[in-house]
Amino acid sequence: MADMLPLTAPTLVNAVLPGVSGRRAEIARNVALAVAGSLLLVLAAKVKVPFWPVPITLQTLAVLGLGAAYGRRLGAATVALYVAYGLAGLPVFTNTPPAAAGLTYLVGPTGGFLAGFVAAAYVAGWAAERGASVARLIAGMITAEALILGLGFAWLALGAQMAGGATGVGFAKAFQFGVQPFLLGDLIKLALATSLVGASWTLLRRRG
């Protein structure tokens, strides 16, 4: 990977896709990208890869990749659109079905992780669209991943509405069941997303 990531355009998607002129055309383009990205997230949520100690989905990879490719605003909006599907009751999340989507799901054990997805896409987008160096991209992606795990952990520990009526499971159980089993898989997805983004910019630079 080159020492410097060339940013001839603010985001990867702007560098790859032809530009549009006019406010309406720009809005239509961004809406189409957001819908396409949100559908990719739905697919990523449903793909389970056998892994140790628990199977993993491709959600984190998709969140970080979309954020970095789309930029902070469109990336966060795309992930927020995905969450809105679930809030509306569509079965777009990993555990729906058998769990029912909707507000009840969002205030449940995984609600903090879903909020973390939106924040992570924003941070990954910020790092990538401003990414003057590989170091900044890596730091941004690590921060984005930390937001997912941190918000998910805090919500599970203190605020999640559990099936038995309890609020939160405490810090020890939140780490044991909500963070620790997923650390290795998330680190691999983080490294893969960062490498793909860096390699994409390098390829674009070589093509001129």
- Could you tell me the domains of the chain? 21-203 (1.10.1760.20)
DSSP reduced 3-state for 56: strand
Six token digits for residue 117: 């997805």
Q: What is the mean pLDDT of the chain?
A: 90
Report pLDDT digits (tens) over 26-48: 899 999 999 999 999 999 999 99
Higher pLDDT, 116 or 130: 116
CA distance 96 to 101: 6
pLDDT value, residue 130: 63
Res. 9 pLDDT band, cuts 50 70 90: very low
Which has more confidence, 1 or 146?
146
CA distance linking residue 69 with residue 187, whole number of Å: 19
Helix 72-87 vs helix 23-46: angle between axes, to the nearest 10 degrees? 60
3-state secondary structure of 207: coil
Whether the predicted pLDDT of 131 surpasses 60: no
Model confidence, pTM: 0.92
How high is the pLDDT of residue 57? 95
pLDDT at 15 over 90: no
For 120-148, what is the mean pLDDT?
A: 88
| Nearest alpha carbon to residue 54 among 14, 94, 22, 87 | 94
> Which of 199, 140, 189, 204 minimizes the C-alpha distance to 2?
199
Per DSSP bridges, beta strands 56-57 and 48-49 are antiparallel
Q: How far apart are CA 161 and CA 108, in angstroms?
A: 5
Q: Is 49 helix (H, G, I), strand (E, B) or coil?
A: strand
pLDDT tops 90 at residue 135:
no
pLDDT score at 61: 96
Q: What is the pLDDT confidence band of residue 1, given thresholds at 50, 70 and 90? A: very low
pLDDT higher than threshold 70 for residue 6: no
Q: Cα dist. 164→97, 105, 140, 161 in Å? A: 20, 14, 38, 8
Better-predicted residue by pLDDT, 152 or 129: 152
Q: Which residue is it, tokens 């650390």?
A: 183
Distances, alpha carbon 27 to alpha carbons 20, 23, 24, 76, in Å: 10, 6, 5, 16
Range list of H helices, 71-133:
72-87, 103-106, 111-129
Average pLDDT over residues 179-197: 95
